Amino acid sequence: MNINKSQRMNYFQQSIFSELLKRKNSKLSEGVDMIDLSIGSPDTPPPLFVTRMISDLANDPMMYQYTLKGTVEFHKVVTENYLVNYGVRMNEDTQVALLMGSQDGLVHLPLVLCDPGDYVLVPDPGYTAYEAGCNLAGAIKYPMPLKKENGFLPDLSLVPEDVCQKAKLMIISYPGNPVPVMATEGFFKEAIAFAKKYDIVLLHDFAYSELYFEKKPISLLSVEGGMEVGIEMNSLSKSFSMAGCRVAYAAGNEQVIGLLSSLKSNLDYGVFHPFQMAAAKALLDHSDFLKDMRSSLRNRRDLLLSSFADIGWHIDPPEGSMFIWAEIPKGNTSLEFAFELLERAHVVVTPGSAFGEHGEGYVRIAMVQPENVLIKAVQQIKNSGILSVKA
């Protein structure tokens, strides 16, 4: 039988992550000990109260029914969390949507806002799901360069007028992935005014809202006008190490949430009830779990930066998330440099070009290993001679 793929599938090729995995597995098969710092998957377990609740509830046969759009408890807790943390009041029935991980929302949102040929303004470099969502909807991705000299904030004045007129969605993310910096309140106000002027929905990908160091990130919805033009998506994956549970939410503008909820009612039947219950408990958590997680990440960040500096690789400190955005020495492309690290230092990182044209010249390093392993990774990079060759 001859199977023909749709033309749409031409936009969904194997990612760089697949190539990195293939090369890593090849090394592992040769008996090489690899250190993987490429994927942002937390290496620490969820809070004990999360695992206990899931375990206990999983024994209840009534927990295996469809949850559809999400439980009342989960929706209510999301609004309570916003009120406590950001002073934002929302309607739990109309301004919150359950997601199967934030990737679910990021990829599907363009479908409810864009027709083929419409523009979506996306950060470059930016998370790969943004482009996937554009491709799924047949929308045109318009990259907004994030440059070091501009604090990695997009210059909205550079977006051409004809693109602005055809744009239906703009995506921002602070602290972001792969660029782990914060945005100012002034930038959020500028983005809100821009969105209002051109009737563009503003999406703030807020997946790293709890992973910060010196200052707390700003919620779009807490800024005047933010609720009028946009929504925020957040996930339990990073903040509470619940990546495999696939629990997240979208919150904000009632019309946008309604459209997204309507689409999702045709796509899935909700998230496993125990996962939602555990997520609700986590969002109301008053323990030191998040404080301890931030402290651990801060220690890893400081250890890596000082250790890299000791071997001649000076990197700007991230303000949030679980990533380091490292400018590479001159000489090779980010892809070539990442492959050299893999082959010669046996350390896996992600080339910046995987996140867009303006990610060239950088690699993303995920702080997802214990401190002793991170030190080992730095030592292996030093011993490989890669940095001295490129200097």
Summarize pLDDT for 354-380 with one digit per residue, the tens: 999 999 999 999 999 999 999 999 999
- Token match 């998040």: residue? 290
Model confidence band, residue 8 (pLDDT cutoffs 50, 70, 90): confident
Taking a C-beta distance cutoff of 8 angstroms, is the pair 42, 241 a contact?
yes
Taking a C-beta distance cutoff of 8 angstroms, is the pair 144, 176 a contact?
no
Residue 331 confidence (pLDDT)? 83
Q: Which of 37-41, 263-267, 360-364 has the lowest mean pLDDT?
A: 37-41
Asked if residue 332 has pLDDT above 70, the reply is yes
Asked if residue 390 has pLDDT above 90, the reply is no
- Token match 């909807």: residue? 137
Residue 261 confidence (pLDDT)? 96
Asked if residue 119 has pLDDT above 70, the reply is yes
Residue 21 confidence (pLDDT)? 85
Mean pLDDT across the stretch 270-296? Answer: 94
As a whole number of angstroms, the distance between CA 268 and CA 283 comes to 23
- Token match 């219950």: residue? 277
Asked if residue 391 has pLDDT above 90, the reply is no
Q: Which of helix, strand or coil describes residue 36?
A: strand
CA nearest 364: which of 147, 178, 146? 178
Residue 17 confidence (pLDDT)? 80
Summarize pLDDT for 41-89 with one digit per residue, the tens: 899 999 999 999 999 999 999 999 999 888 999 999 999 999 999 999 9
Asked if residue 5 has pLDDT above 90, the reply is no
Residue 389 confidence (pLDDT)? 47
Query: Which residue segments constitute the domains of the chain, with CATH numbers given?
Result: 15-45+288-390 (3.90.1150.10), 48-283 (3.40.640.10)
Residue 330 confidence (pLDDT)? 86
Q: Which of 7-16, 102-111, 186-195, 279-288 has the lowest mean pLDDT?
A: 7-16
Instruction: Give 115's contacts (C-beta < 8 A, 6+ positions apart).
Output: 137, 138, 139
Residue 10 confidence (pLDDT)? 79
From the CA atom positions of the chain, what is the Rg in Å? 21
Residue 16 confidence (pLDDT)? 78
What percentage of the chain reaches a pLDDT higher than 90?
A: 87
Q: Could you tell me where the DSSP H helices lie in the chain?
A: 16-29, 48-57, 72-86, 102-113, 128-137, 161-166, 185-198, 226-229, 236-239, 254-264, 273-283, 289-310, 334-340, 371-384, 386-390
Query: For the whole model, what pTM was predicted?
Result: 0.94
Mean pLDDT across the stretch 165-187? Answer: 97
Mean pLDDT across the stretch 245-259? Answer: 97
Model confidence band, residue 40 (pLDDT cutoffs 50, 70, 90): confident
Model confidence band, residue 14 (pLDDT cutoffs 50, 70, 90): low
Q: How far is CA 315 from the centre of its chain?
A: 21
